[in-house]
Amino acid sequence: QSVLTQPPSVSAAPGQKVTISCSGSNSNIGNNFVSWYQQLPGTAPKLLIYDNDKRPSGIPDRFSGSKSGTSATLGITGLQTGDEADYYCGTWDSGLNVVFGGGTKLTVL
Amino acid sequence: QLQLQESGPGLVKPSETLSLTCSVSGGSISSSISYWGWIRQSPGRGLEWIGNIHYSGRTYYNPSLRSRVTLSVDTSKNQFSLNLNSVTAADTAVYYCVRGVVPAAYSFHHWGQGTLVIVSS
């Protein structure tokens, strides 16, 4: 059971937009920055979004992040088959712990 | 460009100590804005943070693993290490070394490729 709650899977057609939610509490998302990671099959996770809505250099602006209260959302526009991956949210928890969501598998139909 | 590379045994016996090292290239482990850490991922499961360490020696550990974990830094070799003692099959996982950047050092900007460690007799 993960501290942060994500949908197990989402899907959309190429070119469409998809959003992935991440729900937490005041002890984690509500008072800390949220990050998002993309894990392509057989590879290490890669940082997509940090500080709720910032993109590291090299991450296309098709990827966006937002936070409201105790929830965060990752948005991906112009879906490509290469976006098929597992996506994880993460943040700090007041229990002195880095916590992650259980991951969301994105399928591009 | 900063790169991280894990190294260590791929097979550890139950009750023994799992020891991994992460070599940092393309940057200094003595960076004041960097925290160096470990995250693991059990087969088919999600991510679990193990702990972070600053080159100054300041450490943060996952409370659920704190009693078994030790992180250390070797600035002369530009490396940091993980020791996890009294391992069981539940510690079988891919172990990633990572880098976080202050102020939110729990956002991991760099990841190693990961190394699979199997706990088995």
Whether the pLDDT of residue B4 is over 80: the answer is: yes
Count interface pairs A-B at CB distance under 8 A.
63
DSSP chain A: --SBB--SEEEE-TT--EEEEEE--TTTGGGS--EEEEE-TTS--EEEEBTTTB--TT--TTEEEEEETTEEEEEE-S--GGG-EEEEEEEEETTTEEEEB--EEEEE-
The confidence band for A96, taking pLDDT boundaries of 50, 70 and 90, is: confident
Q: Does B104 touch chain A (CB under 8 A)?
A: yes
Which of A97, A99, A100 has the most B C-beta neighbours within 10 Å, making it the best mutation to test the interface with B?
A97
CA distance A41 to chain B (A): 11
Say yes or no to pLDDT of B44 above 80: no
Residue whose pair of structure tokens reads 């998809």 in the numeric block: A18
Average pLDDT, chain B: 95
Would an 8 Å CB–CB cutoff place B112 in contact with chain A? yes
Interchain proximity A97–B109, CB inside 8 Å: no
User: By the CB < 8 Å criterion, does B3 face chain A?
Assistant: no
**Shortest Cα–Cα distance, A22 to chain B (Å):** 14
For residue B23, count other CB atoms closer than 10 A to its CB: 17
What are the tens digits of pLDDT across the range A8-49?
999 999 999 999 999 999 999 999 999 999 999 999 999 999
Residue of A33, A46, A95 with shortest CB distance to B107: A33
- Per-residue pLDDT reduced to its tens digit, A70-93: 999 999 999 999 999 999 999 999
- Given a cut of 80, whether residue B45 has pLDDT beyond it is no
pLDDT of A95: 78
Whole-number pLDDT of residue B120: 96
